[in-house]
Amino acid sequence: MALDEPPRPPHLAPLRQVLPPLLLGTATFNTQYVDDPTVMPYRGIVRRALVDLGINAFDTSPYYGPSESLLGEALEATGVERSRFFLETKAGRVHGTGFDYSAPAIQASVRRSLQRLRTPYVDLVFAHDAEFVSEGEVLAAVRALRALRADGILRYVGISGFPVDVLASLSELILRETGEPVDAVLSYGHCTVQNTRLLGDPVTRMHKAGVSVVLNASLLNMGLLTTRGVNNGPQAKWHPSPPALRDVCAVAAQVCKDEPEPASLGMKGIEQVALRYAMDVWAREGARSQVDTVSAGGSLGIGASVLGVTTEAELDETALEWWSVLDGLGLPHFALGGLQSRAGVGSAPDAASRQKNGLERTAAVKKFVEEKLVPVFGELKDFSWASPEEGWVNELNPEVAAKARS
């Protein structure tokens, strides 16, 4: 360990022993996804997740507009003790074209997050969208977060971003330069029905770099894999996907409406197909790659997923699919019999029957994706857009901005 590194608190268990396998992501509590998040049912969503469905982990960021404040308010209203849920946020991304990874800014951001989230500590903080800054800035941010860890303000430190190769390289850099691996990597949009580039070499490199858990987020790729798509609504203003990718995703959504298989499984559209496929694939791949969590119980680990919703109905649908994934893996879970019976998912009375049903559902969804959706994507299967795009300038880095203008 480098001489300027704060020692790791000896009482901290590895993250994979404590991170819940399913997290409610609250990027949707933001004007990037809804016109007015303050009038969406955010209180009901959080209560339903934590109190009724046993989903006891939440992901947010100060970059997500009012998300932290709305989540903090909703969590407090549940009356659930702080020790009974896992809370993660991010730091470093100030706005769409501005990043400040300096130690004072990172630490001020986390302290502000504590106020917004109404909590004395957060469990995990990510350096947000780390591909947009230099390697030196990432190292500075990680060291700043670890200093807060030494103060008890946070417990685990991670990095998040879009390009999986960059995330792997940064994981290796952090281990090499600090002598301690990063606890977590949050990857988004790279284990979906359209893009599975997280699997294989990138996640293997992260594991070899000592990363405890890799979380798979944005299974619908920020709304790209939805019936509505991203050409209508708030996403049209900012979504980074090129027109060609938007077009093929719209075709894939139509296939899910026209083909009989999703309906026969009780799935309403591409949203449920994509969620089920990605949750199941990552649950297994995360375990195979040893970047999983074992907190779900049983003898097996499971890859952790971050899911965002805008209604309680969407949350219920997600929970049902998640329970079915766990059934297929033979893992225990929190379940509501009424919900399961109504949907016909995981409603069999005994564990062996539930596992059989879960495996059959997994196989049916996998077959549909591979035979019906993958051909639609064609050459855009596994396509990832550039992040950052060519010529991008960090507006909060005066030296870089001045050089770009000269």
List pLDDT tens digits, range 3-21. Answer: 466 677 878 999 999 999 9
Is the pTM for the entire model greater than 0.75? yes
Output the pLDDT for position 113.
Answer: 98
- 75: CB partners within 8 A, 6+ apart: 46, 50, 58, 85, 87, 117, 118, 119
List pLDDT tens digits, range 313-353. Answer: 999 999 999 999 999 998 888 766 555 544 445 455 688 89
Distance from C-alpha of 236 to C-alpha of 32, rounded to nearest angstrom: 9
List pLDDT tens digits, range 67-105. Answer: 999 999 999 999 999 999 999 999 999 998 999 999 999
CA 352 centroid distance within chain: 30
Average pLDDT, the chain: 92
Residue 170 has pLDDT above 90, yes or no: yes
List pLDDT tens digits, range 351-370. Answer: 889 899 999 999 999 999 99
Model confidence at 405, pLDDT cuts 50, 70, 90, reads very low
Q: Looking at residue 280, what DSSP letter applies?
A: H
Output the pLDDT for position 337.
Answer: 54
Domains of the chain: 19-380 (3.20.20.100)
- Cis check for the bond before 388: say yes or no (omega within 30 of 0): yes
Decide if 156 is catalytic. no
Contact between 143 and 176 (Cβ < 8 Å): no
Q: Which helix or strand (DSSP H or E) is residue 308 part of? A: strand 304-308
Q: What is the mean pLDDT of residues 17-43?
A: 93
Residue from 33, 42, 63, 64 carrying the catalytic annotation: 64
